[in-house]
Amino acid sequence: MSFARLSIATILLSLSALFTFVHADDSAVSRPSEWAQPVEAQYNLFQMSPTLYRSALPDSGTVPLLETLKVATVINFLPEPDSRWLITPAITQVQLPYRTNHVDDAEVLKVLRAIQAAEANGPVLMHCKHGSDRTGLMAAMYRVVVQGWSKEDALSEMTEGGFGDSTHFKDGVRYMMRADVEKLRTALANGDCSTSPFAACSMKNWFQSAHLQ
């Protein structure tokens, strides 16, 4: 092999090695700083903000960690109560069960309002069974409605953030894509139970108000 050919081969090999190094280095770069950051892998526990955490279903072994994190409220999206594992009176329990394939604006507003109210008393942990679909949807809606994220950014975190099997997110993604964020934000600020005056909760409130008058 001539010197010229050897030089070209050496350059190509060096470029290939550099590309491989940069590619590997890119894959090792930490997750975006604005995404929820991992706290405890066993419970799929992540910190979304100084006052909000998300996780899979905790157990009694989680309590010391929650106390260390100064969690004051646990919001549960499952039909089974947290009283089975959470017995300390220092942590308030809020149960708001729902299913992503039947979620509506009223349920989202109820959860967002509960989170905001609880945050006034200290850090909040919200969870479902695996910490992915139900918790993922409410985390994404908190991002867009309360924190002002775009739907695209919130969906990227929800589906690519390492919270669970992405095939579980289809119902949440479907709801998010059709959700009217501005209407939700206005309803949350005004204390409305839904974005629609014809929602069941809105009609119930109207009938109660009319009866009182």
HEC sequence for 142-183: HHHHHCCCCHHHHHHHHHHCCCCCHHHHHHHHHHHHHCCHHH
3-state secondary structure of 79: coil
Give a yes or no: residue 28 inside a domain. no
3-state secondary structure of 130: coil
Cα-Cα-Cα-Cα dihedral sign, residues 168, 173, 174, 179: positive
CATH of the domain at 173: 3.90.190.10
Q: Over the stretch 51-62, which tens digit does the pLDDT of each residue have?
A: 999 999 999 999
Q: What is the mean pLDDT of the chain?
A: 86
List the one residue out of 56, 105, 90, 61 whose CA is nearest residue 76: 56
Kindly give, in sequence order, each residue whose CB lies less than 8 Å from that of residue 106, ignoring residues fewer than 6 positions away.
Answer: 193, 194, 199, 200, 201
Give a yes or no: residue 12 inside a domain. no
Of the pLDDT bands very low, low, confident and very high (cuts 50, 70, 90), residue 25 is very low
C-alpha atoms less than 13 angstroms from C-alpha of 21 in its C-beta half-sphere = 6
List the one residue out of 97, 169, 160, 100 whose CA is nearest residue 132: 169
Beta strand extents in the chain (DSSP E only): 37-40, 45-49, 52-55, 73-76, 92-95, 124-127
Residues 45, 50, 51: CA angle, nearest 5 degrees: 80
Give a yes or no: residue 54 inside a domain. yes
Q: Over the stretch 110-135, which tens digit does the pLDDT of each residue have?
A: 999 999 999 999 999 999 999 999 99
Give a yes or no: residue 25 inside a domain. no
Q: Over the stretch 133-167, which tens digit does the pLDDT of each residue have?
A: 999 999 999 999 999 999 999 999 999 999 998 77
Q: What's the pLDDT score for residue 34? A: 97
Give a yes or no: residue 115 inside a domain. yes
Give a yes or no: residue 213 inside a domain. no
Write out the residue range of the structural domain in which residue 92 sits.
Answer: 34-206
- Number of domains composing the chain: 1
Give a yes or no: residue 10 inside a domain. no
Q: Over the stretch 67-122, which tens digit does the pLDDT of each residue have?
A: 999 999 999 999 999 999 999 999 999 999 999 999 999 999 999 999 999 999 99
Beta strand extents in 16-110 (DSSP E only): 37-40, 45-49, 52-55, 73-76, 92-95
